[in-house]
Structure 1
Amino acid sequence: MNPIRDYLFVYGSLRRKPGACSNHPLLAGCEWLGPATLAGRLYRLDAYPGAVDAGRSRIQGEVYRLRNGRRTLAALDLYEECTRQFPQPHEYRRVRRPVRLAGDRVLSAWVYLYNRPTAGLMAIAGGDYFSPNAGTA
């Protein structure tokens, strides 16, 4: 029997910066699989984005294969403040969603979705946090 592989879709501060090859220290040891998209809408929260399930829009990001899924996800849950030690409602919730990689390959990946109301938040045009006009939808 093949073990279930853990994949992670990232769309904001955990992504590689444009023109850089390194990723966030929390993803050290994880395998970068490449750019990908997620169905949803992206909002500017403060100095970081939040993704929500909404409509047919696509969110730009990238996918990683987690080498030690349990340990990495526990560290990411702390980073995203969605563990029991943080007050409810958490800003994010970790869920599995289908993501599309190059060549139309689809796989199920963990993603942190924004877990609060979006009224009054600015949508990020084109769903790309690193776009020059991010936050001007």
Structure 2
Amino acid sequence: MMSDRLFVYGTLMRGYDHPMARLLSSNAEFLGTASIPGRLYLMRHYPALVPSEDPDEHVHGEVFRLHRVDEVLAQLDDYEGCGPSDQRSEYRREISQVTLDGGTELDAFVYYFNWDVARLPRIVSGRFQPEAFSG
């Protein structure tokens, strides 16, 4: 199954002065803020999302519709350290159901953290705010 949508929850969100955030904003249409079932952890200076079966655990982010899907995803996969066949890669990209703030559900690609989170600090709010972790 293919999707042209991408859910982002970290440094790829709007307003970040980051080359990959700029790549995304110039090659995608912002569809809205959204959430996904999951738990968020802090991996150094960026967030790590893992799936959750708990209906009370959500991670908040943004959904974009990609214009040149294959090209943009290839660059983002490289940035995220996401390998299609290497199971040891830091992230894996999967299609999951996300819910727009208005309640609409849609499928989108999501980068899930692929390593152990046991020693990582949890971001209980489910919202990544890098200024809260700087310094």
Question: If the TM-score is normalised by the length of the shorter chain, which range does it land in?
Answer: 0.7 to 0.9
Moved over 2 A (4+): 131-134
Displacement of 1:88 in angstroms is 5.3
2:111 alignment counterpart: 112
**One-letter code of the match for 2:22?**
P
1:26 alignment counterpart: 23
SS in 1 for 2:75: helix
Displacement of 1:120 in angstroms is 1.1
Question: Gaps spanning 5+ residues in structure 1: where?
Answer: none
Displacement of 1:132 in angstroms is 7.1
Is the Cα–Cα contact under 8 Å of residues 3 and 108 in structure 2 kept in the other structure?
Answer: no
Task: Give, in whole Å, the separation in 1 of the partners of 2:39 and 2:3.
Answer: 26
SS in 2 for 1:74: helix
SS in 1 for 2:92: strand
Task: Give, in whole Å, the separation in 1 of the partners of 2:117 and 2:45.
Answer: 16
Is the Cα–Cα contact under 8 Å of residues 50 and 114 in structure 1 kept in the other structure?
Answer: yes
Task: Give, in whole Å, the separation in 1 of the partners of 2:47 and 2:130.
Answer: 12
Structure 1 residue 37 corresponds to structure 2 residue 18 = no
Q: TM-score, normalised by structure 1?
A: 0.83
Displacement of 1:11 in angstroms is 0.2
1:99 alignment counterpart: 98
Displacement of 1:125 in angstroms is 1.7
Is the Cα–Cα contact under 8 Å of residues 3 and 107 in structure 2 kept in the other structure?
Answer: no
Report 1:76-95 matches (<5 A).
76-83=76-83, 89-95=88-94
1:16 alignment counterpart: 14
Task: Give, in whole Å, the separation in 2 of the partners of 1:8 and 1:119.
Answer: 27
Displacement of 1:83 in angstroms is 2.8
Q: TM-score, normalised by structure 2?
A: 0.84
Task: Give, in whole Å, the separation in 1 of the partners of 2:84 and 2:62.
Answer: 27
Identity of aligned residues (%): 39
SS in 1 for 2:125: helix
Task: Give, in whole Å, the separation in 2 of the partners of 1:17 and 1:110.
Answer: 21
